[in-house]
Structure 1
């Protein structure tokens, strides 16, 4: 019996406010779906943040429906929890999963009041949805009930969407010891880097599936090391970390941490960019360059990148940021996302304050009512 674990697609996210990057994220999700259909697992579990926003754009909803309907046509059910990006900030606004359920019916199973489902009378699947820090005590109560309800089952999976120590040593919301110790597979979302850890003397696996595309430049090095995509698990026999397999998708190339201090560095970087032109997608470039080479380099690579962010460096390697093909707003939003804060809320508040919007206080009040 096989299952797929996927998370953090963030459909609708527009990195650098570019159509191409929004489309990349849709394509990565649909590539995952196509690979899942090739594998034909018994079911799919999803650990949250299907969407970038609780009010996703039309294209994001269309992409989600296209992918999930393909699974339905192949009789592959999907078990899905809400991540922090999926949950509306106001009580009055509907959840996008409601629309998906109307279309997909019983092939999409969520975890609202009902904290568990059973697949094929054999596999117990529990789910705890994302909550803010001050609501974690309620999550502990839910975990106790899930643990109690699962006692009669030998095959058990638990979905969650939180930051957990030791994977996030700072700013974590829960600890790995907070979770039941007799579940076969604990399936996490929220952290975009892949992670697998054997627990319970090696009889269980604690996992983060990671995001399905590069959502931040901070994820590039991990992508090169561990890839992006989803996990394939096999519950047929004795279950341990060797029962999990990585299935990868290909993301756009990011070139980061490039230092151009002389003509030789300049030539090598340009040649590397030129060599990537045979790929379907132009690369993203982050680099530092000495002042005297900046203008010629900027002109020469203009058509070789989708997006570039270049910093000038002086002869003493003291850096000063040059905002190139970027706006202050884009850099600000990327900074917020890197800090794992709510981009929509923080940036929305920033815009309201800039405009002296008299509804700023109401905006904050609605947000905290919905989340705290």
Structure 2
């Protein structure tokens, strides 16, 4: 019998707050269900974090309902547990239970199995660290005793059933920081431990589990705690048809995902590298998400943002990490480029109204950029001796303009804009 094992779906999550990324999740979830149906699975496991939020938006609810209905029409039962993202801290009834009550999915329990053909399914909802002992470790011991009697009770034609336990917990064996329990804590006697919580694909057998396989299929797409990277995502189809307690695992890659690409480029060849990236984006059906790691020295932010802005029409989203050999590292993302140019354009208009002369406008913008780029650390982000002179020159020009009343708006214009409330500032205190 074939079983589809899907976890960490996070329906409703919009990476970078982009609607396109929310739609991407729905599309790859649809793909996972379609591939499961095409492989003629007999059951689908959803191992927690079905939704990204315990109170998901309407689109997420509808898309899940659509796929559950499709599976029900194919007589494929859907068995689920809850992850932390499905559980509200206000003790509301979890939304996935609605689909259990409607008969579109089945909630798994820790002490009463659901049987599909010759396989028994048990499951625990997510338990937080504060309740591990009472919520998991104690019940695990009881489950080992229950399992022995259930094997005899549910056997078919004197064949012992396969046993599957579904959990949404992190094992410290794979991540000592995110882990909540050890593999040695797991109840013995199961052939397959269908896990959720970790977003990476992991499979491992432990001798003390008597050959049982512990498997995380990983998330179906990059999530809220994952960096942009060219990593594959998918789900598992487990085959329980073998005569022994062996379970054959087949990890299925999801192909409809939006490309997420990572590049390491040198600032000295910035535009050449950008042109190469632009050329590579043409081979994808969807505009990719891009992460740029830029290495160099004396990086000019204006030149950088101007070059990166050429990516706007070829990628959905990009961010960059600057490794400047002579200054502090900085980061940014695609919207910064657009905002920078729009802001500078507006500032140029406003400052020109005040200063009247183009060269003073340029000097003012330079000063503002220096102020914005300054850092509280002992190492400045610009050449100290040169820019100290440059900054003093700018301030000198601005002060002379101020002395000549160039910084005060024309009273008639202010009267129109402020309803007659003309504001004048003390040149020393800037107090009205």
Using the size of structure 1 for normalisation, the TM-score is 0.79
- 1:1-372 alignment runs, 5 A limit: 1-91=1-91, 93-103=92-102, 105=103, 107-111=104-108, 115-120=111-116, 122-138=118-134, 139-151=136-148, 152-153=150-151, 154=160, 155-200=162-207, 203-216=211-224, 218=226, 221=229, 224=231, 227-237=232-242, 238-240=244-246, 243-250=248-255, 251-263=257-269, 266-289=271-294, 290=296, 291-292=299-300, 293-316=303-326, 318-322=328-332, 324-325=334-335
Q: Which whole-Å CA distance do the structure 2 matches of 1:267 and 1:208 have between them?
A: 40
Q: By how many angstroms is 1:267 displaced?
A: 1.6
- Asked whether the equivalents of residues 84 and 130 of structure 1 are also in contact (C-alpha less than 8 Å), the reply is yes
Which one has the largest radius of gyration?
A: 2
Q: By how many angstroms is 1:216 displaced?
A: 4.5
Q: Would the alpha carbon gap of residues 217 and 149 (structure 1) be closer, same or farther in structure 2, given more than 3 Å must change? A: closer
Mark the runs of 5 or more structure 1 residues left unpaired by the alignment: 328-372
Q: Which whole-Å CA distance do the structure 2 matches of 1:239 and 1:21 have between them?
A: 40
Deviations 1:245-280 (A, max 9, x none): 0111022111225233222x5423432332223322
Q: Which whole-Å CA distance do the structure 2 matches of 1:145 and 1:78 have between them?
A: 25
- Asked whether the equivalents of residues 318 and 333 of structure 2 are also in contact (C-alpha less than 8 Å), the reply is no
RMSD of aligned residue pairs (Cα, Å): 2.3
DSSP-derived class of the 1:181 partner: coil
Structure with the larger strand share: 1
Q: Which whole-Å CA distance do the structure 2 matches of 1:145 and 1:14 have between them?
A: 40
Alignment correspondent of 2:421: none
Deviates more, 1:287-296 or 1:146-155: 287-296
Deviations 1:60-119 (A, max 9, x none): 00110011111111000011000000011202x33111322233x1x511135x643232
Alignment correspondent of 2:375: none
- Asked whether the equivalents of residues 124 and 150 of structure 1 are also in contact (C-alpha less than 8 Å), the reply is no
Q: By how many angstroms is 1:298 displaced?
A: 1.7
DSSP-derived class of the 1:322 partner: strand
DSSP-derived class of the 2:125 partner: coil
DSSP-derived class of the 1:197 partner: strand
Q: By how many angstroms is 1:315 displaced?
A: 4.8
Q: By how many angstroms is 1:317 displaced?
A: 6.9
Mark the runs of 5 or more structure 2 residues left unpaired by the alignment: 152-159, 338-432
Q: Would the alpha carbon gap of residues 296 and 73 (structure 1) be closer, same or farther in structure 2, given more than 3 Å must change? A: same
- Asked whether the equivalents of residues 198 and 216 of structure 2 are also in contact (C-alpha less than 8 Å), the reply is yes
- Asked whether the equivalents of residues 115 and 126 of structure 1 are also in contact (C-alpha less than 8 Å), the reply is yes
Alignment correspondent of 1:366: none
- Asked whether the equivalents of residues 144 and 188 of structure 2 are also in contact (C-alpha less than 8 Å), the reply is no
Alignment correspondent of 1:358: none
- Asked whether the equivalents of residues 16 and 326 of structure 1 are also in contact (C-alpha less than 8 Å), the reply is no
Q: Would the alpha carbon gap of residues 47 and 73 (structure 1) be closer, same or farther in structure 2, given more than 3 Å must change? A: same
- Asked whether the equivalents of residues 270 and 301 of structure 1 are also in contact (C-alpha less than 8 Å), the reply is no
Q: Which whole-Å CA distance do the structure 1 matches of 2:289 and 2:280 have between them?
A: 14
- Asked whether the equivalents of residues 11 and 26 of structure 1 are also in contact (C-alpha less than 8 Å), the reply is yes
Q: How many residues align?
A: 318
- Asked whether the equivalents of residues 3 and 45 of structure 2 are also in contact (C-alpha less than 8 Å), the reply is yes
Deviates more, 1:204-213 or 1:248-257: 248-257
Greater relative CO, 1 or 2 (CA 8 Å, sep 6+): 1
